[in-house]
Each structure stands twice: as C-alpha cells, then as structure tokens.
Structure 1
Amino acid sequence: MRSVTRKTLVGLGVVVLLLLALGALPSYLGSGDPYYLEATPADDAEGPAYELNATEDGIAEQRFQYFFAAVEADDGRSEGYQRGAYGLKEEFAHSPFDEVATFREFAPAGAVEGDAVFVRYNDTRYRVTVTQP
C-alpha cells in the first residue's frame, strides 16, 4: 500500500472515531443540580390534554423516555438530567426539556398551564413539568 493511501485511510479513521465520540460523549457531560420530569395525575381528569398513545413497536417509549420513567416511578419523577457546560449537551443529547417542548407544541388549546402541560396516557391525565429541587 502506498504511503499516501495509508495516511488518507488513517486520517479518515480518525475523523470517523472523532464523530462517533462527539455523538456519544455529550450524554455523559453534565454539571449542576439535576432536572427531573415530573408527571402527576391531574385533579381534573376530563380537561384537554396531549393524547399519547403507546405504539406496539415502542417508538413512543423511545421518544418520551423521561415521561414513561416518571409515570412508572413511585414518586412520579424521572431520572435526573444534568445540563452540560456551554450548551453542548443540549444540542446532541435528548432531555426532558425536549419532551415537554414536544408536548406543548402539539397540545390542544387549554392543555398548557404556565410551565406545565397536560398529557393523557392510559386514560389518566397527567400534569407534566420539568423541576429542579
């Protein structure tokens, strides 16, 4: 193999490894107190809400992992999420803020109340917020 070809292949390999690391690394970065997505059953069960239907292929569970973790948790709170320095993590990693933004974007009129959004899942209406204790 020629020297130029070898250097080109090594350079491409380094670039590929750097891109893979850039995709995986931000999820491990974090600083400050954690944020939690909280899902508590709402008092008014019949009000407007974003309708979340879990599909058989698990797409909803992957897209709304913080919401499902909060619904399944005894205290109604997902696992903690720490923001990254300089906003890098938010650009490359999924966060509870992304889920709440999606709920707010597609929620019907009256389903948003301040920082909270109402989501209906399995015939239960949840009040969903991102909190930091």
Structure 2
Amino acid sequence: MKKLPIVASVLLAALIIGGAIAFGGKSTSSNQMVQNVSMEGEKQIIEIDAKGGYSPKLTTAKAGVPTILRLKTNGTYDCSSAVSVPALGFQKTLEATGVTDIEVSSQLAQGTLEGVCAMGMYNFSVKFL
C-alpha cells in the first residue's frame, strides 16, 4: 500500500517535467535578427559588443560603402577585449569600457571581414553583400 503513493508521485513528477520540456518555450535569440547596422551620413556603422565573445557573431552589411566597425565594451576583462582584424591590419587591446571605431574603406568593404580575440576563442564576421 505504501508503494502506490510513491509510484503516483514519481509518475506525476515525470509528467510535469515531460510537459515542461515538450511545451516549454525555446529561446529564439539565435533566430532573431539583430539590427546592428545603421547609416550616419555617407558611412555605414556596424556595432559589435565585445564581452564574453562578440555579439552579434555574424553581421550582413552593404558592400562598397565606407564603413565604421564600432566595437563597444562594458566591463570587458576577458580575451574579447584584445581584438584583431587581420584584413585591416588592426590589432588592439580595447578599454574595459568604451567605444573603438575602426575605419573600413569602401574598397575593403567587400567579401567577408573577420575579427578574432587574442586567444582565438571568440570571433565575429561581417559579410558584405
């Protein structure tokens, strides 16, 4: 007789957990489009946050337009503060909190531009279309 309440409790717990897994909302953050590209006058501005990696990791922007790659930090003390953009010859340790603008000429705003942290753990890409 004592086994019946235990079995019922286990089954109820399994149903609750199974329901939470089956009907629980999945995060859509990986599917959401991030609006990190804007125009200021004749220049295209691409904003990328650097903290615990780079966000967003992939950006699509217009090719052939003078561009500013704007790296923003806010209490960043990890390796994403030491960034390199090899195609631009850019390498710098960013301030822990601040904004760093990197000029990208219209001639270099072509194809895919990649950035990486000093340890190679984190990266970002800008696809110019």
TM-score, structure 1 as length reference: 0.30
More strand by share: 2
More helix by share: 1
Rg: which structure is higher?
2
TM-score, structure 2 as length reference: 0.31
